[in-house]
């Protein structure tokens, strides 16, 4: 596909050039662009909704599920939400240019670390047109150019949103190539995009595990991976059982289809006889199906038998694996063996065991006495979330604006040379 290749190379080159301009743009100018983009999206919402209608008509023709159609649909309310999101990003602190530390060397050199944009970000995502504006805003705010490739079902909506955002860039004399939408639904374009290691610094896929594995397989560019969330709650021997029931219920049923919902409950044997019936009753009322180990089923006979593969399953549904463990060490060993390094919580009244769980469990988010559902960029106070990383390099866990930057060393001297 030489034509597709050269088209993508051109997008990459333009993004790289735009990134050097963006890196020097003031926070004030970037914020004005974000606010103007919010205004422009609202001002042109009728046109946006008409463009979106083309996607919706095609999607209905292809028989997409109601859930997918919902995610694809742009209403006045949805566009208002997107615009609010852009205004919120304008209010966040600019991560670029921040000096995170500075120290004096014995020879008088003053050495500091300054955060700078990564450069060019590639985002590959499924059929949610709001991601187009959200991701573009976070990249712009952090001084990065972005190339966006959304799901083919949303192509008209994405191009329409991109056109409006680029119009604002042009009005403010910022480079339009700072925000580029891949203009074709051809899958070959994704492959070619993933070869642009010279022009794109990092790829962030947002979508299911299958999408991410495909991106990792084809990419020559580093990929920030978010595989899955097999999140655990461990109810310790000293847990406040009322609190534990509340946390388990929230972690499982408040929004079961997301990656930070609980998938496996681990219960210390000392509390299993009293706790399991309580939590089991509440979960049953909420419609949750249990898959338990033998000791769980001895206490809750209605639970199904958990198979070996259930322990590593991300149900994203009202199903829960339940295991009784002898010790906290056994709980931690279970998490290491079957977990996905995403989010784990302990419910305990023991100071020592809380501290030990926090220290020893090396998942990206570890909580004491709180629901796993807090593992989220907004809930943790990052102000935004561009994604969640379940691998350790560069970023681990929910990623905010700061994770779209890196650090350079800046050095103030007065003539120093090395001897």
Rounded to whole angstroms, the Cα distance separating 205 from 130 reads 15
End-to-end CA distance of the chain: 55
Nearer to a copy of itself, 241 or 314 (CB): 241
β-pairing verdict for 231-235 and 262-268: parallel
- Single residue of 3, 24, 28, 309 touching a copy of itself by CB under 8 A: 24
Of 201, 220, 193, the C-alpha closest to 11 is 193
Q: Which residues contact 270 (CB under 8 A, 6 or more apart)?
A: 237
Nearer to a copy of itself, 290 or 332 (CB): 332
Contact letters for a copy of itself, residues 2-21 (x by CB under 8 A): ------------------x-
- Single residue of 62, 65, 103, 308 touching a copy of itself by CB under 8 A: 103
Q: Are 129 and 150 in contact (CB under 8 A)?
A: yes
Nearer to a copy of itself, 10 or 100 (CB): 100
202 is a contact residue toward a copy of itself (CB under 8 A)? yes
Nearer to a copy of itself, 225 or 291 (CB): 225
Q: Are 108 and 414 in contact (CB under 8 A)?
A: yes
Only one of the segments 69-77, 148-156, 317-325, 396-404 lies at the binding site for a copy of itself (rule: CB under 8 A); that segment is 396-404
How many CA atoms are closer than 13 Å to the CA of 361, on its beta-carbon side? Answer: 34
118 is a contact residue toward a copy of itself (CB under 8 A)? yes
Residue 302 CB, nearest approach to a copy of itself (Å): 25
- Cα–Cα distance list, 317 to 244, 281, 314, 400 (Å): 20, 18, 8, 27
Rounded to whole angstroms, the Cα distance separating 29 from 152 reads 32
Of 342, 341, 298, 358, the C-alpha closest to 323 is 298
Nearer to a copy of itself, 72 or 124 (CB): 124
Rounded to whole angstroms, the Cα distance separating 378 from 211 reads 24
Rounded to whole angstroms, the Cα distance separating 112 from 100 reads 8
Q: Tokens in use for 121? A: 């970000």
- Single residue of 35, 87, 97, 218 touching a copy of itself by CB under 8 A: 97
Contact letters for a copy of itself, residues 355-394 (x by CB under 8 A): ---xxx-xxxxxxxxxx-xxx---xxx---------xxxx
- Single residue of 9, 42, 111, 289 touching a copy of itself by CB under 8 A: 111
98 is a contact residue toward a copy of itself (CB under 8 A)? no
Residue 315, SS3 per DSSP: coil
- Single residue of 55, 126, 201, 263 touching a copy of itself by CB under 8 A: 201
Residue 71 backbone dihedrals phi, psi, to 5 degrees: -65, -30
CA dihedral 167, 14, 85, 99 (to 10 degrees): -130
Q: Which residues contact 75 (CB under 8 A, 6 or more apart)?
A: 49
Task: List the beta bridge partners of residue 147.
Answer: 122, 180
Residue 204, H or E segment: strand 202-206
Nearer to a copy of itself, 35 or 362 (CB): 362
Nearer to a copy of itself, 267 or 366 (CB): 366
Contact letters for a copy of itself, residues 232-271 (x by CB under 8 A): --------x--x--xx-xxx--x-----------------
Residue 281 CB, nearest approach to a copy of itself (Å): 18
Residue 65 CB, nearest approach to a copy of itself (Å): 26
Residue 153 backbone dihedrals phi, psi, to 5 degrees: -65, -20
Please count the residues of this chain forming the interface with a copy of itself, following the rule CB under 8 A.
67
Nearer to a copy of itself, 291 or 373 (CB): 373
- Single residue of 46, 66, 301, 418 touching a copy of itself by CB under 8 A: 418
Nearer to a copy of itself, 4 or 23 (CB): 23
In the region spanning residues 121 to 180, those forming contacts with a copy of itself, defined by CB under 8 A, are: none
Contact residues: a copy of itself, CB under 8 A: 20, 23-24, 97, 103, 105, 109, 111, 114, 116-119, 201-202, 222, 240, 243, 246-247, 249-251, 254, 336, 354, 358-360, 362-371, 373-375, 379-381, 391-398, 406-419
């Amino acid at each position: 596909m030489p034509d597709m290749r050269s088209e993508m190379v051109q997008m990459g080159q333009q993004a790289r050039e735009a990134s050097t301009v963006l890196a020097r743009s003031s926070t004030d100018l970037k914020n004005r662009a974000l606010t103007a983009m919010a205004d422009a999206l609202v001002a042109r919402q009728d046109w946006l909704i008409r463009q979106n209608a083309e996607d919706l008509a095609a999607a209905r023709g292809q028989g997409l599920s109601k859930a997918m159609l919902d995610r694809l649909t742009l209403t006045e309310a949805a566009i208002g939400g997107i615009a609010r999101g852009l205004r919120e990003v304008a209010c966040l602190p600019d991560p670029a240019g921040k000096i995170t530390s500075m120290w004096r060397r014995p020879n008088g050199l003053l050495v500091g670390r300054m955060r700078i944009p990564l450069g060019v970000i590639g985002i590959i995502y499924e059929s949610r047109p709001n991601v187009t504006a959200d991701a573009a805003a976070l990249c712009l705010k952090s001084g990065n150019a972005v190339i966006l490739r959304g799901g083919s079902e949303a192509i008209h909506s994405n191009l329409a949103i991109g056109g409006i955002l680029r119009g604002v860039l042009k009005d403010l004399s910022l480079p339009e190539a700072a925000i580029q939408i891949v203009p074709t639904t051809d899958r070959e374009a994704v492959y070619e995009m993933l070869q642009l290691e010279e022009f794109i610094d990092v790829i962030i896929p947002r979508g299911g595990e299958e999408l991410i594995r495909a991106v990792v397989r084809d990419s020559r560019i580093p990929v920030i991976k978010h595989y899955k969330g097999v999140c655990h709650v461990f109810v310790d021997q000293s847990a406040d059982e009322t609190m534990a029931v509340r946390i388990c219920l929230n972690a499982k049923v408040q929004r079961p289809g997301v990656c930070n919902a609980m998938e496996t409950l681990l219960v210390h044997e000392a509390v299993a006889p009293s706790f399991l019936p309580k939590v089991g009753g509440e979960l049953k009322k909420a419609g949750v199906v249990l898959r338990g180990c033998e000791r769980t089923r001895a206490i809750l006979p209605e639970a199904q038998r958990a198979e070996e593969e259930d322990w590593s399953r991300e149900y994203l549904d009202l199903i829960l694996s339940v295991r009784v463990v002898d010790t906290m060490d056994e709980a931690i060993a279970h998490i290491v063996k079957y977990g996905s390094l995403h989010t784990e919580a302990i419910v305990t009244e023991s100071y020592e065991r809380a501290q030990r769980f926090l220290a020893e469990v090396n998942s990206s988010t570890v909580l004491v006495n709180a629901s796993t559902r807090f593992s989220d960029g907004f809930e943790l106070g990052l102000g935004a979330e561009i994604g969640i990383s379940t691998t350790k390099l560069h970023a681990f866990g929910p990623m905010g604006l700061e994770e779209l930057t890196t650090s350079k060393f800046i050095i103030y001297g007065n003539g120093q040379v090395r001897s």
